[in-house]
């Protein structure tokens, strides 16, 4: 594990640049330390978070929009205010049905997001 640590305790959205991570998908790493990370992910309608898995526990909050979320072999449409929980190593993905933003929280941090 790296010695990654966030030094700012107050983080303003406007101070963090978006990183394009796929067609119709961009993200901002908002805050992190070795144990925890928060990331905003903005999707255009039709944007896809491809099916994948990782060893991190993930909780995601639908800040806006509508998404078809797949976790293992289940799919549900989630909208503003909804939350989903992904245990470690479970395959999951997202399809944006209506332009929106997900706020992802990971334990531990996603080192691949800060390299």
Is 85 domain-assigned? yes
| Residue 21, pLDDT score | 95
Classify residue 90: in a domain, yes or no: yes
**What is the pLDDT, as a whole number, of residue 39?**
98
- How many Å is the maximal CA-CA distance in the chain? 39
Checking if the pLDDT of 72 tops 70, the result is yes
The reply to whether 13 falls in a domain is no
CA dihedral 1, 105, 78, 72 (to 10 degrees): 20
Query: Does residue 8 form part of some domain?
Result: no
In-domain check, residue 2: no
In angstroms, rounded to a whole number, what is the distance separating the alpha carbons of residues 84 and 58?
8
Domain hosting residue 74, numbered range: 18-113
pLDDT confidence bin for 56, thresholds 50/70/90:
very high
Number of domains in the chain: 1
In a domain, 22, yes or no: yes
Q: How confident is the model at residue 3 (pLDDT cuts 50, 70, 90)?
A: low
Domain at 39, CATH number? 2.60.120.10
Whether 5 is covered by a domain: the verdict is no
- Summarised one tens digit per residue, pLDDT across range 87-107 is 999 999 999 999 999 999 999
Residues 22-46: tens digit of each pLDDT: 999 999 999 999 999 999 999 999 9
Q: Answer whether residue 2 shows pLDDT above 70.
A: no
Residue 47 domain flag: yes
Instruction: Give 114 or 104, the one with higher predicted confidence.
Output: 104
Closest CA to 100 of 68, 69, 65, 67: 65
Helix spans in 10-112 (H) = none
The confidence band for 1, taking pLDDT boundaries of 50, 70 and 90, is very low
Q: HSE of 50 in the Cβ direction (CA atoms, 13 Å)? A: 4
Q: What is the pLDDT of residue 8?
A: 84
């Amino acid at each position: 594990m790296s010695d990654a640590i966030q030094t700012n305790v107050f983080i303003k959205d406007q101070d963090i640049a978006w990183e394009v991570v796929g067609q119709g998908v961009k993200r901002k790493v908002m805050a992190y330390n070795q144990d925890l990370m928060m990331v905003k992910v903005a999707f255009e309608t039709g944007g896809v978070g491809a099916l994948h898995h990782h060893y991190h526990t993930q909780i995601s909050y639908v800040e806006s929009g509508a998404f078809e979320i797949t976790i293992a072999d289940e799919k549900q449409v989630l909208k503003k205010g909804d939350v989903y929980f992904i245990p470690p190593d479970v395959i999951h993905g997202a399809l944006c049905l209506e332009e929106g933003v997900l706020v992802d929280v990971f334990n531990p941090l996603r080192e691949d997001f800060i390299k």
